[in-house]
Structure 1
Amino acid sequence: MKLIPKKLMVLVVALAALFTFAAAAPVRADDWALTGTGVRVKTIAFIDIDVYEISHFMKQTPASRSKQAVIDADVPKKFVWKMLRDVDKEKIHDALTGAFAMNGYKDQAKIKAFVGAFQGELKEGARITIQYDPEKKTTTVAVGGSSASVAGVDFMKAVWSIWLGKIDQPNLGDQLIGRLK
């Protein structure tokens, strides 16, 4: 099929508009809207090390485009990590425990249950899912064959604050809500 230049130009403009819209709009899969993706970086002696890629999804996005609105949203939402390097269990435990403390969350029983799902070294390529169920008011972390569910809206807000609250890499939170309108 031979396209004349005018039709080709119309096709190119239409495709460009479609890709521009797609880049700005949240990506949806199975009713989950991707609100953003970033990479968790650890800086050691002036060297940045990529630790994991993290994406955030919601079934219902908040009316306001803010990290606090996403933290407070009592809707189905989840984080999905993909490990970019091997990290031992103790480092993950320390990082999560420290992040809860940085955000002022102190319920040690809930923190211990959550962190306990990380039972071994996380290998490069491993996937971790942290999902909130508003009907059950539980946050579930799945790490390989291990998982833990922790009850409470307070805990959900504490978990979401790890990446969207006080963090030593504030631009990561901005990236995780970057697709919200």
Structure 2
Amino acid sequence: MVLQEPKRHLDHVYFVGAGLVSLRIVAAGSILETAVIGYPGAIGASFLLGGHLPTHQPVVLIPGNAHRILVEDLRRIMNENPDIRERLCRYVQALSVHCAQSGLCGVRHASEKRLASWLCLASDAVGSNVLPVTHDYLSSVLGLRRAGITETLNRFEEQQLIRKTRGVVQIEARNCLAQKACSCYRLISGTYAAPSL
């Protein structure tokens, strides 16, 4: 389910309560995922940067729930409660780091490290070690060959880091998988974990 179309007027902000949302850029038939968002994330908070035309397409990957508020209502609430504005601005800053780091990761890091990072970030965002994702999905959002995704997941399973079944990846050894991840995982998760968020 697409929550907002890119380059269309932004009417609402969604505060994710549960589930997982893939934040994507779509161009010329290609998809680039720039972030995964779960609780306590927000979709549409880019209006804080001064724009009402989002550049990303948020797509629900794992169904859950969210609270929706009109941008104008949220703007009024933030004017009345500066702490809310400050907190949301810090979240948008962390999300910007996430998006930028994902772009760098895609051109600089090996596929195994990128896949381990994605699995850890998605697990953090959804608050679960069970991720209902297919090899095709991982291939499309990471820009990797499907065969390469399958080979890497098979290696992770042989190393007892994950267990996979049709359409599901279950993380079995979270800390060991995080050690396989590139430094982007630690940087991104550390940015979200900053005390002010």
Report the TM-score, using the length of structure 1 for normalisation.
0.28
- Which has more helix, going by share of residues? 2
Q: Which is greater in Rg?
A: 1
Report the TM-score, using the length of structure 2 for normalisation.
0.26
